[in-house]
Amino acid sequence: MGNTETAVEFRNVTKAYGDVRAVRNFSFSIERGKLVTLLGPSGCGKTTTLRLIAGLEMVTEGNIFIGGKEVTRLSASDRDVSMVFQSYALFPHMTVMQNVSYGLTMSRLTKAQVSEKALEGLELVGLTGFGGRLPSQLSGGQQQRVAVARALVLEPEVLLFDEPLSNLDAKLRRRVREEIRELQQKLELTTVYVTHDQEEALAVSDRIIVMNEAVIAQEGTPRQLYEEPDSLFVADFIGDANLAKAELVQLDGKEAEVNIGGFTMRLPHRGLASGAVNVAIRPQAILLQSSGEQTGIPGTIQKAIYLGNHIEYTIDSPVGELFMIDNQVDQLQPSGSKVTISFLRRGVSLVRAD
């Protein structure tokens, strides 16, 4: 295939609808064979970005490259991408086999090749033998797999998924996302995946691009995003986080001594200087001790919710209200009780103020 390892590249892409800019000066590139997720709250421009790649929307400014070739002004049918839609968009008047063959018949393949590849595609998604049915005769999960098969039999340069799991129930969702990931890795397909569900994004992605209000908030591996969020927004969006004021007391090599409401701990300084800083504290990184212990800051339990395998507490503390998750379900602290809290190093990170 092409001589480049970059499958998709955006250079300073802006998309405006009248005065509203849905995507603002976007630049990123996607490596061949990787699954990259566009993650963000609704209205952040992630679906617009996906549609720009597909050619279903045209850029207002900037350039788009697919497989090293510029496609900025090419229509959707001229681009070597295919897409799995949120609603699946299976053609209701065609059988499963006709749906899967549809894209293939547009290329210059013989009838035999078309049906061979279509059958191959159905086999890949585990739907051998369902070719003669109409989409309406399949379950939601099966329809979803037909949509995937239909898109991937074309062996596109890039495969696009637009919130593909949103129409499935919670249990099925987990299974299907694993299937998609397995298939993507097996076929080494470059894939762009859009979702607003951060857990889904963490589960399937090689890299994640977090978007907020039409710009890229942060880009990185799932681990980077979770452990080293660049901003309060990312920290809060990827997994829950408590945001608190803190003071960077002094730098020490790569680390820094940080004072969070009286509790001192060492954290990677991430390029920040001494003075007031923000920290993101994961709910799992807060430890509860009985009142009276030395290392920690005082707090009062405001609310306690028992959830079977864990307890959720809301605690009033000198650094503000904290939300925490405690796995010690046998020691329920009733609301109103005084506690001492401390923080685990893993699960607390310094972030720049937004």
Partner 1 sequence: MTPPALSPEASQGFSGNFRKSSYSLKLWLGIAWVGFLTLPWYAAYDGFWSFIWITDGYPAFDEYSPGILQITMHQRWWLWPVALSLLVPLPALFLPRTDPRHIAALLLGGGFGFAYMFAQGFILGLHGWGWVFLGDLFGSTTQTQMGLGYGALLVCAGFLFLFTQGLAARGAIKGDIFVSGSIGLSIAMVTAFVFFPVGKILINALKNDEGEYVFSLFLKNISSNNIWSLACLNSEFSCGVAWNSLWMGVLVGLATTVLGLAFALLVTRTGMQAKGFVRTISLLPIITPPFVIGLALILLFGRAGAVNAFLEWAFDITPTRWIYGLTGILIAQILAFTPIAFLVLIGVVEGVSPSMEEAAQTLHASPWQTFWTVSLPLMRPGLANAFLLGFIESLADFGNPLVLGGQYEVLSTQIFFAIAGAQGDLGMAAVLAIVLLMFTLSAFYAQRRWLGKKSYATVTGKGDAGMHVMLPKRVAWGAYLTAMPFIALSLVVYGMILFGGFVETWGYKHNFTFKHYIDEFSIHWSEQYGIIWDGAAWNSFWTTLQISAISAPLTAGLGLLTAYILVRQKFWGKDVFEFLTMLSFAVPGTVIGVGYILAFNVPPIEITGTGVILVVCFIFRNMPTGIRAGIAAMSQLDPSLDEASLTLGARSFTTLRRVLLPLLRPAIIAALVFSFVRAMTAISAVIFLVSADYDMATSYILGRVEFGDYGLAIAYSSVLILVMLGAIALIQLAVGKRELGRRDSEPLAI
Q: Which is nearer to partner 1, 77 or 331 (CB)?
A: 77
Pairing of strands 263-268, 255-260: antiparallel
Cα separation, 13 vs 75, whole angstroms: 17
Cα separation, 21 vs 240, whole angstroms: 28
Exactly one of 9, 10, 37, 67 binds partner 1 (CB under 8 A); that residue is: 67
Exactly one of 3, 18, 42, 93 binds partner 1 (CB under 8 A); that residue is: 93
Q: Does 221 bind partner 1 (CB under 8 A)?
A: no
Minimum distance between the CB of residue 28 and partner 1, rounded to whole angstroms? 20
Q: Which is nearer to partner 1, 151 or 311 (CB)?
A: 151
Exactly one of 16, 56, 203, 287 binds partner 1 (CB under 8 A); that residue is: 56
Q: Does 245 bind partner 1 (CB under 8 A)?
A: no
Minimum distance between the CB of residue 161 and partner 1, rounded to whole angstroms? 12
The pair of structure tokens assigned to 255 is: 């680390």
Cα separation, 246 vs 280, whole angstroms: 10
SS (H, E, C) the chain: CCCCCEEEEEEEEEEEECCEEEEEEEEEEEECCCEEEEECCCCCCHHHHHHHHHCCCCCCEEEEEECCEECCCCCHHHCCEEEECCCCCCCCCCCHHHHHHHHHHHCCCCHHHHHHHHHHHHHHCCCCCCCCCCHHHCCHHHHHHHHHHHHHCCCCCEEEEECCCCCCCHHHHHHHHHHHHHHHHHHCCCEEEEECCHHHHHHHCCEEEEEECCEEEEEECHHHHHHCCCEHHHHHHCCCCEEEEEEEEEEECCEEEEEECCEEEEEECCCCCCEEEEEEECHHHEEEEECCCCCCEEEEEEEEEECCCCEEEEEEECCEEEEEEECCCCCCCCCCCEEEEEECCCCEEEEECC
Q: Which is nearer to partner 1, 117 or 282 (CB)?
A: 117
Minimum distance between the CB of residue 279 and partner 1, rounded to whole angstroms? 42
Exactly one of 27, 128, 137, 295 binds partner 1 (CB under 8 A); that residue is: 137
Q: Does 65 bind partner 1 (CB under 8 A)?
A: no
**Site pattern 150..169 for partner 1 (x: CB under 8 A):** xx-xxxxx--x---------
Q: Does 19 bind partner 1 (CB under 8 A)?
A: no
On whether the CB atoms of residues 301 and 341 are closer than 8 A, the answer is no
Cα separation, 163 vs 171, whole angstroms: 16
- List the one residue out of 245, 239, 169 whose CA is nearest residue 198: 239
Per CB under 8 A, the segment of 34-42, 78-86, 242-250, 259-267 that binds partner 1 is 78-86
Q: Which is nearer to partner 1, 110 or 294 (CB)?
A: 110
Q: Which is nearer to partner 1, 51 or 196 (CB)?
A: 51
Q: Which is nearer to partner 1, 84 or 280 (CB)?
A: 84
Per CB under 8 A, the segment of 21-29, 91-99, 199-207, 326-334 that binds partner 1 is 91-99
Which positions from 294 through 353 interact with partner 1, judged by CB under 8 A?
none
Q: Does 32 bind partner 1 (CB under 8 A)?
A: yes
Cα separation, 311 vs 326, whole angstroms: 5
Q: Which is nearer to partner 1, 187 or 353 (CB)?
A: 187
Q: Which is nearer to partner 1, 92 or 308 (CB)?
A: 92
**Site pattern 96..135 for partner 1 (x: CB under 8 A):** ------xx--xxxx-------x--x---x---------xx
Number of residues that bind partner 1 (CB under 8 A): 58
**Site pattern 167..196 for partner 1 (x: CB under 8 A):** -------------------xxxx-------
Which residues would be at the binding site for partner 1 (CB under 8 A)?
Answer: 1-2, 32-33, 54-58, 67, 69-70, 72-83, 85-87, 89-93, 102-103, 106-109, 117, 120, 124, 134-137, 147, 150-151, 153-157, 160, 186-189
